């Protein structure tokens, strides 16, 4: 499974670097200077960051996945052979709840919390509220806005496609047909039956990069 970065606020330093200035009202930024190293990336700029759209990337991966299956000789009319298996848009409710809805019943998605960097905006908010990442993972996406489940041999192509669209991506986990051993590790959580849909399960394990 691959996760696509959700915010521009993940740049080095992020919002946390400007935490001491968040109550100030900065002058209207020069359009060409926004995000420049010479200008602090404030909380105000982070809140104005446009929503990242994944539609073009998802359509491309769906088409490329079908082509890859065709050339591999396992394409069928019902698209069972498509190398792109599922998409999960991580909106309200966090990564696990949204991903669990697209995992077929009987399967388990295993996600390593430490496989991507948490954007600065979330670090700032957690610091301001005295919260730990595991306390907010059911509300915020913590940097993963879209998850794509693909065939193992399609992972490099998926990363290349994301990069071509200017989207940073990470291999965040895998899908198995057995409950993962990591589910028994302290700090791991398994989520299923979310948002009124009975489907597969998602296990989050490891520690976030904060």
Strand, coil or helix: what is 154?
A: helix
Compute the CA torsion angle 61, 85, 116, 176 (nearest 10 deg): -160
pTM over 0.75: yes
pLDDT of residue 70: 58
pLDDT of residue 83: 84
pLDDT of residue 175: 94
Question: CATH homologous superfamily of domain 52-205?
Answer: PurM-like C-terminal domain (3.90.650.10)
Q: DSSP for 72-118, please give it.
A: HT---TT-TT-SEEEEEE--TTHHHHHHHTTSPTT-EEEEEGGGSBP
Long-range contacts of 68-71 (CB under 8 A, 24+ apart): 68/151, 68/153, 68/154, 68/157
What separation in angstroms does the CA of 137 have from each of 70, 134, 141? 38, 5, 7
What separation in angstroms does the CA of 13 have from each of 41, 120, 133? 8, 7, 18
pLDDT of residue 21: 31
Using the structure block, give the residue that is written with the tokens 């190293």. 37
Residue 107 token pair: 């399967």
| DSSP conformational letter for 17 | G
pLDDT of residue 46: 82
Per-residue pLDDT of the chain (210 residues; tens, 9 = 90+): 888 888 644 333 333 222 333 333 333 334 344 444 556 778 888 888 888 899 999 999 988 887 766 566 554 444 456 788 999 999 889 999 999 999 999 999 999 999 999 998 899 999 999 999 999 999 999 999 999 999 898 899 999 999 999 999 999 999 999 887 866 777 899 999 887 888 999 999 999 998
Spatial separation of the C-alpha atoms in residues 141 and 95, rounded to whole Å: 5
**Residue 146: exposure state from Cβ atoms within 10 A (0-12, 13-18, ≥19):** buried
Spatial separation of the C-alpha atoms in residues 188 and 183, rounded to whole Å: 5
């Amino acid at each position: 499974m691959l996760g696509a970065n959700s915010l521009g606020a993940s740049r080095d330093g992020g919002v946390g670097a400007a935490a001491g200035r968040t109550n100030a009202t900065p002058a209207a930024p020069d359009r060409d200077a926004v995000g420049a190293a010479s200008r602090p990336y404030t909380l105000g700029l982070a809140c104005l960051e446009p929503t990242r759209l994944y539609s073009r990337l998802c359509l491309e991966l769906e088409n490329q996945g079908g082509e890859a299956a065709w050339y591999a000789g396992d394409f069928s009319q019902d698209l069972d052979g498509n190398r792109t298996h599922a998409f999960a848009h991580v909106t309200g409710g966090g990564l696990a709840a949204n991903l669990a809805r697209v995992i077929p019943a009987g399967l388990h998605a295993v996600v390593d919390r430490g496989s991507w960097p948490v954007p600065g905006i979330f670090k700032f908010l957690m610091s301001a509220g005295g919260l730990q990442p595991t306390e907010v993972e059911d509300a915020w996406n913590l940097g993963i806005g879209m998850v794509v489940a693909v065939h193992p041999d399609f992972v490099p192509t998926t990363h290349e496609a994301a990069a071509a669209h200017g989207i940073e991506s990470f291999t965040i986990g895998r899908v198995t047909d057995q409950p993962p051993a990591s589910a028994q590790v302290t700090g791991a959580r398994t989520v299923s039956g979310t948002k009124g849909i009975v489907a597969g399960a998602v296990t989050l394990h490891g520690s976030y990069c904060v």
